[in-house]
Amino acid sequence: MKNSYDAIVIGSGPNGLAAAILLQQQGLSVLVIEGRDEIGGGLRSKELTLPGFTHDICSAIHPMAQTSPFFSQLPLAQFGLSFLHPVADAAHPFDDGTAAVLYSSLEKTAELLGSDRQTYERLFRPLLQDFKDLSEDILGPLQLPKHPLTMAKFGLKALPSAMHLAKRFKTREARGLFGGVAAHAIQPLTNIATSAIGLVLMANSHVSGWPAPKGGAQSLANALGAYFTSLGGEIVTGNFVKALKELPPSKAVLLDVTPKQLLQIAGERFTSFYKWQLKRYKYGMGVFKVDWALDGPVPFTAAACREAGTIHLGNTIEEIATNEQRTVDGQHPELPYTLFVQHSIFDKTRAPEGKHTAWGYCHVPNGSTRDMTAAIENQVERFAPGFKDLIIGRHVMNTADVEAYNPNYIGGDINGGLLDITQLYTRPALRWSPYTTPAKGIYVCSSSTPPGGGIHGMCGYHAAKKALKDVFGVRL
C-alpha cells in the first residue's frame, strides 16, 4: 500500500468494485480493501462439494449485469468475461407435471399462457419499449425522474402488491410464473410494490435474458477487478477493516457494508441521530442454501424445466404467498418456496463430463439455524422424482454460515436489508442523499443504499458519483 490515496473503498463486492472503477476512471488514486483472500463479495465461486464441481457461493444468475447502465459500458469481455444463456431463463412447475416458462422472447412466453397471452403482452411490451429509460430512473436514488411520464406509467403497475397485480391473469400458469419471480423480493407477496420486482426481472428477461458468467460468478468479479487494476487501481485482500483509523490517509472513504458494520467501523464519527437511524434499520428474511454435485441432469417431470437455468419451486402463487408469509411470521414451512439453479446444463465448465451441479435456497426467518436440507430436497423431488438418487455431494449453509462467509449478509439477509416500501429509497437512513453520512468524506456504497440488492453495481456507482462531486469537484 501507498502512504496515502485519493479514495479508499472497503469491500470488493459488485458495488464496491463499481465505485472504485468510477473513481479510478477520473484519474484518482484508489485503493480497494477486501477482508477475504479473494475479491467478489456476492460474486464468488468455489469447489464446495467435490473436485471439478464449481458452485457459486452467493449469487448465481445475473439478470441485471448486462443491462446495468454502468456495467454494460465497461469493456469486461477484454478481461475474460463472457455470459452464457440457458434455453429458457426460468420455469415454474406445477404438481400436475406441467410448467409455465419464461423465455427471452416475449412472444414465445406469452404464447404458452393460453387465455392470458394478450394480457401478458399488454403488460410487458410497454416496459420493453421503455426499459432503457426506466433503468436509469429505477436503478438510482429518489429524485426527479429523467423520464417522469415513463416512471409514472411504470409506477401504476409497480406500486400494487404482487398478489394484486396477479389478479390481471386468469390462468394458474401466468399467476404462478409471475409469483415465482416476484418472490425474489424476499418479503410477503401482499406487500406494496412487490410487483416492481416481478415486472423488472421479467422485463429484463425479454431484454437481455437471465445469463450467468461462464465459469462461475467469480468470473465477473475477476473481470471487474482486472479492469480496475488496468486503470491503475490497487487491491489489497485478506484485511478485514475494523476501524477507520486502520486506513492510510485519504480524502474519501466508501464503505460497501451494511448499517451494522458501518456503525462498528465508523460509528464514532457519526451524529447521535444518524446512529439512531442506522440501529433502527430493518433486515429481512435470511436464506438456507444447498449446493449439490449430481450424477446426472435433474429429472424434472416437466420437459421445459430440464432446459431452464432457474426454476421456481412453489406450485401456485397462493401456495408461495402463504409460505412466504409464514416465514416472515417466524415459521419454517414444510414446502418452502425454493429458488433452484442448474448451471451445468448450459455451462459445461461447471462439472466433469456427464455430471452436473445444482444450487438452491429457501427463505427462513432472519438468523434461523434450522437445517432445511430435507425440506428443500423434498421440494425438488416433488417436481423431479429421482433427484435425491443423483446426489453425490452436498454443501449446506444456514444463515450463520452465510453471514460468516459474507458479513454483509446479516442474519442471512442477502439483500443488504429489507427492500420494502419503507426502505426502498430511505436505505440506510433518511437523508437528502442516502450515500452520504454526517462525517465529511465518508460514504456508503453497498446494497443498503438505493436501488438495493442485485448484481448491477449501481449503488456503488451513485455513491462514487456523489463523492466525486462533493470531495473532488467532478460532476458527471
Q: Which amino acid would we find at residue 275?
A: K
Residue 411 covered by a domain: no
**pLDDT for the residue 48:** 98
Residue 230 covered by a domain: yes
Name the residue range of residue 18's domain.
Answer: 5-81+213-281+416-472
9 contact partners, CB below 8 Å, separation of at least 6:
16, 17, 19, 20, 23, 30, 31, 32, 33, 253, 254, 255, 256, 445
Paired with 178 in beta bridges are none
Same structural domain, 193 and 327: yes
Same structural domain, 74 and 91: no
Same structural domain, 223 and 343: no
DSSP string, 229-268: HHTT-EEE-S-----GGGSPPEEEEEE-S-HHHHHHHHGG
Same structural domain, 102 and 46: no
Per-residue confidence in pLDDT tens, the chain, 476 aa: 899 999 999 999 999 999 999 999 999 999 999 999 999 999 999 999 999 999 999 999 999 999 999 999 999 999 999 999 999 999 999 999 999 999 999 999 999 999 999 999 999 999 999 998 888 888 888 777 787 888 888 988 999 999 999 999 999 999 999 999 999 999 999 999 999 999 999 999 999 999 999 999 999 999 999 999 999 999 999 999 999 999 999 999 999 999 999 999 999 999 999 999 999 999 999 999 999 999 999 999 999 999 999 999 999 999 999 999 999 999 999 999 999 999 999 999 999 999 999 999 999 999 999 999 999 999 999 999 999 999 999 999 999 999 999 999 999 999 999 999 899 888 999 999 999 999 999 999 999 999 999 999 999 999 999 999 999 999 99
- The half-sphere exposure of 216 on its side-chain side, counting CA atoms within 13 A, is 23
Within 10 angstroms of residue 225's Cβ, the number of other Cβ atoms is 24
Same structural domain, 112 and 197: yes
> CATH no. for residue 161?
3.90.660
Among 405, 426, 445, which residue terminates a domain? 405
Same structural domain, 336 and 388: yes
Among 405, 432, 461, which residue terminates a domain? 405
Residue 80 in contact with residue 343, Cβ under 8 Å?
A: no
Triad 254, 69, 433: Cα angle to 5°: 40
Same structural domain, 204 and 218: no
Same structural domain, 430 and 401: no
- Model pTM? 0.96
Residue 41 covered by a domain: yes
Among 384, 405, 426, which residue terminates a domain? 405
Closest CA to 427 of 453, 466, 405, 399: 453
Residue 270 covered by a domain: yes
Residue 253 covered by a domain: yes
Same structural domain, 322 and 380: yes
**pLDDT for the residue 462:** 97
Residue 367 covered by a domain: yes
> CATH no. for residue 30?
3.50.50.60
**pLDDT for the residue 262:** 97
Residue 59 covered by a domain: yes
Q: How far is CA 220 from CA 33, 105, 107, 357, in A?
A: 18, 25, 30, 19
**pLDDT for the residue 395:** 98
Same structural domain, 322 and 377: yes
**pLDDT for the residue 276:** 97
Same structural domain, 297 and 429: no
Residue 410 covered by a domain: no
**pLDDT for the residue 171:** 98
Counted domains in the chain: 2
Same structural domain, 125 and 31: no
Q: Which amino acid would we find at residue 5?
A: Y
